[in-house]
Amino acid sequence: MKIQFFAGALLCCIFASCIVGCSSNDDSIVIAPEADASQFVVLTDVVPDVILEIRYYSTYNFIGRRIPGYDEPIAMLTRQAADSLKKVSDDLIKQGYRLKIFDGYRPQKAVDYFMQWAVDANDTLMKQYFYPELNKAVLVPQEYIAEKSGHTRGSTIDLTLFDMATEKEVDMGCTYDYFGVASHPDVQPGQTIGAYKPISQEHYDNRMILQKAMMDHGFKPYDCEWWHFTLDNEPFPNTYFTFPLSRKSLE
């Protein structure tokens, strides 16, 4: 009887152990909030008209290398942000434009990499293209680079306009990710501050076309970057996500 009882108890322990730790049922897996991609979508699945130029997947960015966490050249956003951007796209298509996307959701791993790069004074490979008027040492103090990014919350997008008539990207006066006053959306045509080249009236008007369309559909602009917008009622204002930029994250 003792042997039978011991054997039965052992089987119960093994069975219970498998229920707790060995189950293949996905519902039993606990995912940390910052690793949960279930409320995200691949942007082109919602807004098929956008053009993608995911800079951090390429080497043409302010660092000059592909950035960790960008496993695929795709853009991802929260469902709410993607739905709102669909309205922006539909609006602008009527005006003869398409949206060109540089970045959407950004994994925290990428932001950490930016911070590591920022403290390496000798790594200035892309300075002439992205921060010619600034010493690299000021990029963090002046908040061009920070430990936390709105992109990591999933409802921020970096984008520009593509003119369907000319079949060219619209000229906004300075490149995406330019670190300097010229990138500020409210800088006035002809205004000279420091050493940067002033933008023209056409540049300013182009920026306002993009800004108006984004604000009309629930996005708020950022006062230092003409390309950067965040959904006003973002669903995860306090969560900085960690999953990689990949369709596999949605599986």
**Which sequence positions are flagged as catalytic?**
225
Integer Rg of the chain from CA:
23
Nearest to 225 by CA among 130, 124, 90: 130
Can you tell me the distance from the alpha carbon of 219 to that of 86, in angstroms, rounded to the nearest whole number? 12
Can you tell me the distance from the alpha carbon of 60 to that of 223, in angstroms, rounded to the nearest whole number? 24
Helix 79-94 vs helix 201-216: angle between axes, to the nearest 10 degrees? 130
CA distances from 224 to 41, 145, 221, 229 (A): 27, 12, 9, 11
Q: Output the CA angle 150-178-213, nearest 5 degrees.
A: 60
DSSP conformational letter for 40: E
